[in-house]
Amino acid sequence: MKNDIPIEATETTETSIYIDATEANFQESVIAESFNRLVICDISADWCGPCRVLMPILDDISKEYKGSFLLAKVDADENMRIAGKFKVKGFPTVIAFIKGEEVGRFHSAQRKPFVIEFIEKYINLV
C-alpha cells in the first residue's frame, strides 16, 4: 500500500500517560498499543487556536486517568501522512483506537465534560 506508515518499534508501557506519535513510530506506539488499552490520538498543529485550547484539557484528563488510556499527540505539520491516512479535514481531530481500529472521533476544541464522556464511551472496551 502506498500510504503505509513505516514501522519503528518504540517502548510504551501501561504506565505511560502520553507519547509524541510520529510517522516513524505510529504503528507500534498507537496501533499496537491499542490492543492493550484505549489510545486517544490527538492530531493537531501548533498554529491552530482550537488545538491550543484542547491540548491542556486532554493533558489534564490523561493525568487524572493515570495511564488507563494512552494519549498520542501527533503534530500534523510534521506528520502529514498520518493526517492523510485518517482523512483529517480539520484540526484538532481526536481519534479513539481499540484493537487497531478507529472506534470514534471528534473535531475541534470541546469542553472537558464532552471529552470525558467521549473517553468513557470506549475505555472499558479493550
**Pairing verdict, β 18-21 and 93-98:** unpaired
Question: What is the pLDDT averaged over residues 99-119?
Answer: 98
pLDDT band at 24 (very low <50, low <70, confident <90, very high): very high
Cα end-to-end distance, the chain, whole Å: 27
C-alpha dist (Å) from residue 72 to 1, 2, 6, 17, 19: 24, 23, 17, 9, 5
Residue 12 has pLDDT above 50, yes or no: no
- Which residues make beta-bridge pairs with 79? none
Give residue-wise pLDDT tens across range 26-84: 999 999 999 999 999 999 999 999 999 999 999 999 999 999 999 999 999 999 999 99
Q: Which residues participate in catalysis according to the annotation?
A: 48, 51
Which H or E element spans position 113? helix 112-122
Domains of the chain: 18-118 (3.40.30.10)
In percent, the amount of the chain with pLDDT more than 90 equals: 87
Contact indicator for 63, 14 with CB cutoff of 8 Å: no
User: For residues 92 and 99, what is the distance between their CA atoms, to the nearest angstrom?
Assistant: 23
